[in-house]
C-alpha cells in the first residue's frame, strides 16, 4: 500500500512537471513562432522600447525557456526575487509570480477564488451523485418499465443540453421571471443564506448535466453486473435481494462511477469555466478565462497547476477507494 502510494506520487509529480512545461511551451513558443513579444504584450500596445526591455529583464523573459521554467519551479518552493530597473520585488513562497495585467501577486488572488469553485464543485457533486446513481440503479432494476424509459429519456436530454443554455434558461425563469432568488454570489463569511442563494442554481444546473451522465453509466454497468455469475451465486445462496443488490452488485457497479467522479470533481475544482461564466461566479474558472483572453501567462500557469493537482489528488483518492469498495481490486 505504502509502496503503491509512493509510486503514484512520483508519477503525479512527473505529470505536473510535464503539464507545466507544456503550458510554458504553449504560451512562450507559439507566440514567439508567431512573432508576438510577451514583454511588449505585458507593457501594453504603445510602450516605448526601454520600458519593454526593462520588463523583459525583470521578469527574465529574455532567458532561455528552460531557465524560465526552472525559475518558476524554484519560486513555488523557495520564493523569488525580481530585480530590475533599480527596484526589487520580493515574492514569498509559494510564489506563482505576478499577473502581467493587474500586477498583483497571483497566489493570494487564486486562494481568494478557490473556495468559490470548491463549493460549486463539491455541492454539485453531492447532488448529482445522489440523483444520478439512484436513478441509474432504479432504472436497471426495473428495466423496461415506464420509470426506466422516463428516466433514460430525461437523462438523454440532459446529456444533450449545454450547461450554459440550461443555466441561462434557469436564470431567466428563477432569477428574472419569478424573482425567487437574487442570483448574486455572496461569500460564505458574509451571509450563509446569501451564499446558498448564489450557489443553488449553479449547483442544480451543473448537477442536472452530470446526474444525466451518471444515471446512464450506472444503469449500463449495473445491468452488466447483474448478469454476472457471482450475482446468480449470491441469489442461489438464498441471500435477500437487498443484500444481493446493495452489497454484491453495487460494489462492483460503483467502480466506473467512482473513476468518473474522480476525474469530474478534479476537473471542476480547476475551474468550472462554463458554469462560472454563465452565472458570473468569481471562481478559478472565470479567472483563467480572463487570463487566457488577455494572455496573462502567470495566472494561467497558476490555475493549470491547481487544476492538475486537483485532478491528480482526486484520481489518487479514487484509486485508494477502489480497494475499499471492490473486493476484486488489490493495490500493489
Partner 1 sequence: MTAPLHEPTAEAAPSAAVEAAAASSGTKAVQGRSLGRIAWERLKRDKLALFGGVVVVLLVLVAVFAPLITSLVGQDPDLRHEELIDPLFGTPVGSLGGVSGDHWFGVEPVSGRDIFARIVHGARVSLLVGFASALVAVVLGTVLGILAGFFGGWVDALISRVMDGLLAFPQLLFTIALVSVMPNDLLGLSGSGVRVFVMILVIGFFGWPYVGRVVRGQTLSMREREYVEAARSLGAGRLYILFKELLPNLVAPIIVYTTMMIPTNILTEAALSFLGVGVKPPTSSWGQMLSSAISYYQSDPMYMVVPGLAIFITVLAFNLFGDGVRDALDPKGSR
C-alpha cell of 14? 512527473
Q: Which of 169, 180, 184, 230 binds partner 1 (CB under 8 A)?
A: 169
Q: Which of 40, 154, 168, 250 binds partner 1 (CB under 8 A)?
A: 168
Q: Which of 51, 127, 141, 161 binds partner 1 (CB under 8 A)?
A: 161
Q: Which of 171, 226, 281, 299 binds partner 1 (CB under 8 A)?
A: 171
Sequence-ordered list of residues with C-beta below 8 angstroms from that of 245, at least 6 positions apart, any chain: 137, 141
DSSP code string of 6-32? HHHHHHHHHHHHHHHHHHHIIIIIHHH
E strand or H helix that includes residue 297: helix 297-325
Least Cα distance to 199 among 185, 214, 215 occurs for 185
E strand or H helix that includes residue 118: helix 106-141
Which positions from 95 to 134 touch partner 1 by CB under 8 A, shown as an x/- string?
----------------------------------------
Which positions from 246 to 285 touch partner 1 by CB under 8 A, shown as an x/- string?
-----------------x--xx--xx-xx--xx-------
What's the rounded Cα separation, in Å, for the pair 231 and 237?
10
Least Cα distance to 252 among 135, 137, 127 occurs for 137
Q: Is 90 helix (H, G, I), strand (E, B) or coil?
A: strand
Nearer to partner 1, 18 or 130 (CB): 18
Q: How far is the CB of 257 from partner 1 (least distance, A)?
A: 16
Does 13 interact with partner 1 (rule: CB under 8 A)?
A: no
Q: How far is the CB of 105 from partner 1 (least distance, A)?
A: 22
- The size of the interface with partner 1 (CB under 8 A), counted in residues, is 47
Does 234 interact with partner 1 (rule: CB under 8 A)?
A: no
Does 317 interact with partner 1 (rule: CB under 8 A)?
A: no
Does 218 interact with partner 1 (rule: CB under 8 A)?
A: no
CB 279 within 8 A of CB 295: no
Does 159 interact with partner 1 (rule: CB under 8 A)?
A: yes
Does 154 interact with partner 1 (rule: CB under 8 A)?
A: no
What's the rounded Cα separation, in Å, for the pair 167 and 272?
13
Q: Which of 4, 24, 147, 164 binds partner 1 (CB under 8 A)?
A: 164
What's the rounded Cα separation, in Å, for the pair 20 and 133?
35
Which positions from 19 to 58 touch partner 1 by CB under 8 A, shown as an x/- string?
x--xx--xx--xx--xxx----------------------
Stretch of residues binding partner 1 (CB under 8 A), selected from 17-25, 43-51, 104-112, 323-331 = 17-25
C-alpha cell of 236? 442461489
C-alpha cell of 261? 467522479
CB 159 within 8 A of CB 212: yes
C-alpha cell of 17? 512537471
Q: How far is the CB of 168 from partner 1 (least distance, A)?
A: 5
CB 54 within 8 A of CB 85: yes
Nearer to partner 1, 2 or 34 (CB): 34
What's the rounded Cα separation, in Å, for the pair 93 and 123?
31
Q: Which of 288, 296, 302, 318 binds partner 1 (CB under 8 A)?
A: 288
Q: Which of 127, 141, 231, 292 binds partner 1 (CB under 8 A)?
A: 292
C-alpha dihedral over 238, 244, 247, 250, to 10 degrees?
170
Residues that bind partner 1 (CB under 8 A): 15, 18-19, 22-23, 26-27, 30-31, 34-36, 156-157, 159-162, 164-165, 168-169, 171-172, 176, 263, 266-267, 270-271, 273-274, 277-278, 288-289, 292-293, 295, 300, 303-304, 307-308, 311-312, 315
Amino acid at each position: 500500500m505504502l509502496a503503491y502510494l509512493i509510486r503514484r506520487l512520483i508519477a503525479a509529480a512527473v505529470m505536473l512537471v510535464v503539464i507545466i512545461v507544456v503550458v510554458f511551451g504553449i504560451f512562450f513558443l507559439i507566440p514567439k513562432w508567431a512573432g508576438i513579444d510577451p514583454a511588449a504584450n505585458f507593457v501594453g500596445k504603445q510602450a516605448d522600447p526601454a520600458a519593454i526591455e526593462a520588463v523583459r529583464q525583470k521578469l527574465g523573459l529574455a532567458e532561455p525557456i528552460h531557465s524560465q521554467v526552472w525559475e518558476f519551479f524554484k519560486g513555488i518552493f523557495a520564493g523569488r526575487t525580481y530585480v530590475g530597473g533599480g527596484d526589487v520585488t520580493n515574492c514569498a513562497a509559494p510564489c506563482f509570480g505576478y499577473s502581467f495585467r493587474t500586477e498583483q501577486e497571483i497566489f493570494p488572488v487564486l486562494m481568494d477564488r478557490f473556495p468559490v469553485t470548491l463549493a460549486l464543485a463539491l455541492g454539485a457533486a453531492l447532488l448529482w451523485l445522489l440523483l444520478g446513481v439512484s436513478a441509474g440503479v432504479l432504472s436497471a432494476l426495473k428495466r423496461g418499465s415506464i420509470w426506466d424509459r422516463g428516466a433514460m429519456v430525461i437523462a438523454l436530454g440532459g446529456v444533450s443540453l449545454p450547461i450554459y443554455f440550461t443555466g441561462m434558461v434557469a436564470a431567466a425563469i428563477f432569477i428574472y421571471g419569478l424573482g425567487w432568488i437574487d442570483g448574486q454570489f455572496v461569500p460564505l463569511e458574509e451571509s450563509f443564506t446569501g451564499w446558498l442563494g448564489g450557489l443553488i442554481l449553479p449547483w442544480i444546473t451543473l448537477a442536472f448535466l452530470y446526474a444525466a451522465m451518471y444515471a446512464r453509466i450506472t444503469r449500463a454497468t449495473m445491468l452488466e453486473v447483474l448478469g454476472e455469475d457471482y450475482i446468480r451465486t449470491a441469489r442461489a445462496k438464498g441471500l435477500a435481494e437487498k443484500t444481493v443488490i446493495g452489497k454484491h452488485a453495487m460494489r462492483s457497479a460503483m467502480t466506473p462511477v467512482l473513476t468518473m467522479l474522480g476525474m469530474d470533481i478534479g476537473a471542476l475544482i480547476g475551474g468550472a469555466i462554463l458554469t462560472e461564466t454563465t452565472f458570473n461566479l468569481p471562481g478559478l474558472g472565470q479567472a483563467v478565462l480572463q487570463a487566457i483572453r488577455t494572455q496573462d501567462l502567470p495566472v494561467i500557469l497558476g490555475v493549470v497547476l491547481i487544476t492538475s493537482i486537483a485532478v491528480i489528488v482526486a484520481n489518487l483518492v479514487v484509486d485508494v477507494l477502489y480497494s475499499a469498495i471492490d473486493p476484486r481490486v488489490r493495490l500493489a
